[in-house]
Structure 1
Amino acid sequence: MLFHVYILYSPTKGRYYIGHTGDDLNERLRRHNSNHKGFTGKTGDWTMIYNEPYSSKHLAYQREREIKAWKSRKRIEALINSEHSDS
């Protein structure tokens, strides 16, 4: 089973969301775009713009925390635009 760190973008919010999952990425995106109480639940226009696969949940979680710790939109956008991007 592969785990993924992913970055979503919402044009409505003009914001990124960083997460990790062991689920199918398309199903995870569908759940983010469903109407729920969380941060991603109200806009419904999230698109998956980046992902990185990992062999373990622990590694994916570590990478998610690393990216979130950057607290830098420019650094996140540089990652998205890197050669590893799936967009």
Structure 2
Amino acid sequence: MPKVEPNTNAPGAKAFTDIVGSLMFYGLLSGMACIAISAIVYGVGRWMSHHGSAQTGRVGIFAGIGVAGIVGGIPALINWGFGLGASI
């Protein structure tokens, strides 16, 4: 059976790679903004003894960390899946 490999010289591959890289950059940037805004909400909520705002800030911080982890782990996940499929 012939071995099939990904063709990185396909038409539009460079542009598509740039688009995906830009989307990952914006995903990480949004995760960072989520953490920063949520930290402010958490701090103000704690300072004003408003437990609902403090809880929302904590949840937002963990959501931002999750977004960064998912976006940062996408290449490893894709490579793992490709290797898994290639071994079948």
**Structure 1 and Structure 2 fold alike (TM over 0.5):** no
Task: Report the TM-score, using the length of structure 2 for normalisation.
Answer: 0.23
Greater strand fraction, Structure 1 or Structure 2: 1
Greater helix fraction, Structure 1 or Structure 2: 2
Task: Report the TM-score, using the length of structure 1 for normalisation.
Answer: 0.23
Looking at CA atoms only, which structure, 1 or 2, has the larger radius of gyration?
2
The structure, 1 or 2, with the larger RCO (C-alpha pairs under 8 Å, 6+ apart) is 1
